[in-house]
Amino acid sequence: LNLRIFGSLIVGAVAAALAFQAPGNETPEFTRDGEMVRPRNYREWVFLSSGLGMTYGPMASSEPRFDNVFVNRGAYRSFIETGRWPNGTTLVLEVRDAQSQGSINRGGHFQTAVVGLEVHVKDESRFAKKWAFFGFERDKNTATAFPANSSCFSCHEQHGAVDTTFVQFYPTLLEVAKGKGTFKN
């Protein structure tokens, strides 16, 4: 049993264990042209919160819609420890239609089809403003970053509770940020 076989077995075992736990790619991917590739498996990332018909929403409509926010697991763990977002942080905003009447439900609202997907990514070496926003059109696998003068940036810079992100609307992270002293009022 030589060291090379030994090493391969360990690498194989670790890879198998990781594959079982994390089949999805949680690192942001970009094409050669700098377009972002649609995140896969973000539904298995960490859920931060959801809202219904929030007025600040990028896709506000007359009928209220749900927005669900997810973040990649590694960034979540890092935030829990430090109250700050690491490079590679990828926040996904999934917008879904709402329905009231369905099955046994006769009031309130539950979630139905996806109608929008927006992504907020931190990559200090790639983006002049450290973060960028991407809006994925239906059935398109890549998206171009919003221009740096778009309203996303000014609103998030002005109102983001932690590093241009709306942690004020994510109740579990809000507590962490307050505890770590990274929360801006």
Interface residues with a second copy (CB under 8 A)?
1, 3, 6, 9-10, 13-14, 16-18, 21-22, 43-44, 46-47, 49-57, 64, 66, 68, 70, 73, 76, 96, 102-114, 155, 159, 161, 166, 168-169, 171-172
What is the Cα–Cα distance from 135 to 69, expressed in whole angstroms? 14
Integer distance in angstroms from the first to the last C-alpha of the chain?
A: 61
The residue (of 1 and 128) whose beta carbon lies closer to a second copy is 1
What is the Cα–Cα distance from 82 to 90, expressed in whole angstroms? 17
Closest distance to a second copy from the beta carbon of 1 (Å): 7
What is the Cα–Cα distance from 112 to 158, expressed in whole angstroms? 32
Closest distance to a second copy from the beta carbon of 37 (Å): 20
Closest distance to a second copy from the beta carbon of 150 (Å): 16
The residue (of 37 and 160) whose beta carbon lies closer to a second copy is 160
What is the Cα–Cα distance from 67 to 49, expressed in whole angstroms? 8
Q: Which residues pair with 148 in a beta bridge?
A: none
How many of the other CB atoms lie within 10 Å of CB of 56? 11
What is the Cα–Cα distance from 38 to 137, expressed in whole angstroms? 10
Closest distance to a second copy from the beta carbon of 108 (Å): 3
The residue (of 3 and 128) whose beta carbon lies closer to a second copy is 3
Which run of H or of E encompasses 9? helix 3-21
- The 3-state DSSP class for residue 105 equals strand
Closest distance to a second copy from the beta carbon of 126 (Å): 25
The residue (of 103 and 125) whose beta carbon lies closer to a second copy is 103
The residue (of 126 and 178) whose beta carbon lies closer to a second copy is 178
